[in-house]
């Protein structure tokens, strides 16, 4: 019996945990499939995907730095990929067409829900305004927080995101960010004097062991901190939050598992259980 072939494509890619995750999902659900890591040249993403598809591949995950190119390559986009402006999952159809989807946002929200983090009516701060943040804004707003503030080093990018997602919330001026159901974009300097229930770090600062310039009293005592980055040790942001009384300071491994489970479901129609991997991946 032939085996269905999938891969994660990126550059670099050797660090990726996705092959291990999907191989375990396949074993757990009895799916006859293989999942590899594929390094694509920076200037040859399109051909690398086509070659994989032509060799009989059934689907791919897409990671840094190709999510925008995957968005452009897809023949059809899911509403959530359209909204995110980026694609992390490609599904190759029998007629040769390619569907693009984005499972990052649902991955984050599912992981927060797994940890019983209340998002409804919460005041949420999200740090960063890159591709990952764009991908999670719609699923976060769908949980009906009281307010969602996006803060970024380059303030204009945060303001642009707030503008782009204003139809899912209510865009407000800088004076009014403590009122209900609002979305606002700003620089870090504007955070002075504000307090949030949940702070999500969607910057890539953690990858270099750095921390965005955050005011001392930003997190509600007992509040929740979430770093989308993950590693073998707690990130600088997790340590910052722990030292300021966070009840939970999570890293992004759970998000990675949940977005992978959603991709797996898109390909195979079977939803794997992430619980066992939450333990074995640590
Ligand atoms: P991008 O390159 O698109 O965006 C990077 C963002 O980080 C920008 O907003 C940038 O600000 C900001 N930034 C970078 N360095 C610093 C710094 N030293 N101080 C403050 N801000 C900084 O990256 P992505 O959005 O794709 O990824 C962001 C993070 O999310 C990464 O850590 C990535 O690993 C993680 N991620 C995790 C996933 C998971 O499943 N757990 C899934 C996807 C991403 P500026 O605009 O000013 O340059």
Q: Is 259 in the pocket of ligand 1 (CB under 6 A)?
A: yes
Measure the CA–CA gap between 218 and 200, rounded to whole angstroms: 12
Q: Is 67 a catalytic residue?
A: yes
Peptide bond between residue 12 and the one before it cis (omega within 30 degrees of 0): yes
Number of domains in the chain: 2
Prediction pTM value: 0.93
**CA distances for 14 relative to 66, 87, 90, 267, angstroms:** 15, 20, 20, 23
Among 61, 77, 102, the domain boundary falls at: 102
Peptide bond between residue 134 and the one before it cis (omega within 30 degrees of 0): no
**Is residue 27 over pLDDT 70?**
yes
The length of the chain in residues reads 282
34 lies in the same domain as 124: no
61 lies in the same domain as 200: no
Residue located nearest, by CA, to atom 20 of ligand 1: 212
> pLDDT grade, residue 169 (50/70/90)?
confident
Catalytic residue selected from 67, 120, 194, 217: 67
145 lies in the same domain as 239: yes
Among 102, 124, 139, the domain boundary falls at: 102
47 lies in the same domain as 153: no
Query: What's the domain range around 183?
Result: 105-254
Which CATH number does the domain housing residue 94 bear?
Answer: 3.40.50.10860
| 57-103 tens-digit pLDDT | 999 999 999 999 999 999 999 999 999 999 999 999 999 999 999 99
93 lies in the same domain as 110: no
Among 102, 131, 161, the domain boundary falls at: 102
Average pLDDT over residues 246-274: 98
| 132-159 tens-digit pLDDT | 999 999 999 999 999 999 999 999 999 9
Which CATH number does the domain housing residue 114 bear?
Answer: 3.40.50.720
Alpha-carbon Rg for the chain, nearest whole angstrom, is 19
């Amino acid at each position: 019996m032939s085996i269905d072939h999938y891969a994660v494509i990126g550059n670099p890619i050797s660090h990726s945990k996705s092959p291990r995750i999907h191989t375990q999902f396949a074993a757990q659900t009895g799916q006859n499939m293989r999942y590899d890591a594929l390094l694509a040249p920076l200037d040859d993403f399109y051909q690398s995907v086509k070659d994989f598809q032509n060799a009989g591949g059934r689907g791919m995950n897409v990671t840094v730095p190709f999510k925008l190119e995957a968005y452009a390559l897809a023949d059809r986009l899911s509403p959530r990929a359209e909204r995110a402006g980026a694609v992390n999952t490609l599904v190759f159809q029998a007629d040769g067409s390619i569907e693009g989807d984005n499972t990052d946002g649902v991955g984050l929200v599912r992981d927060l829900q797994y940890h019983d983090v209340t998002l409804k009516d919460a005041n949420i701060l999200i740090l960063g305004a890159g591709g990952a943040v764009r991908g999670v804004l719609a699923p976060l707003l769908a949980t009906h927080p009281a307010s969602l503030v996006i803060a970024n080093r380059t303030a204009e990018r945060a303001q642009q995101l707030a503008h782009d997602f204003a139809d899912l919330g209510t865009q407000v001026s800088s004076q009014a960010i403590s009122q209900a159901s609002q979305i606002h974009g700003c620089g870090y300097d504007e955070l002075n004097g504000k307090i949030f229930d949940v702070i999500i770090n969607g910057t890539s600062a953690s990858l270099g062991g750095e921390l965005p310039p955050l005011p001392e009293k930003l997190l509600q005592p007992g509040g929740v901190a979430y770093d989308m980055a993950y590693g073998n040790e707690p990130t600088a942001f997790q340590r910052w939050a722990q030292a300021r009384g966070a009840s939970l300071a999570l890293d992004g491994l759970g998000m990675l598992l949940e977005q992978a489970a959603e991709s797996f479901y898109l390909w195979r129609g079977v939803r794997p259980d992430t619980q066992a991997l939450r333990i074995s991946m640590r």
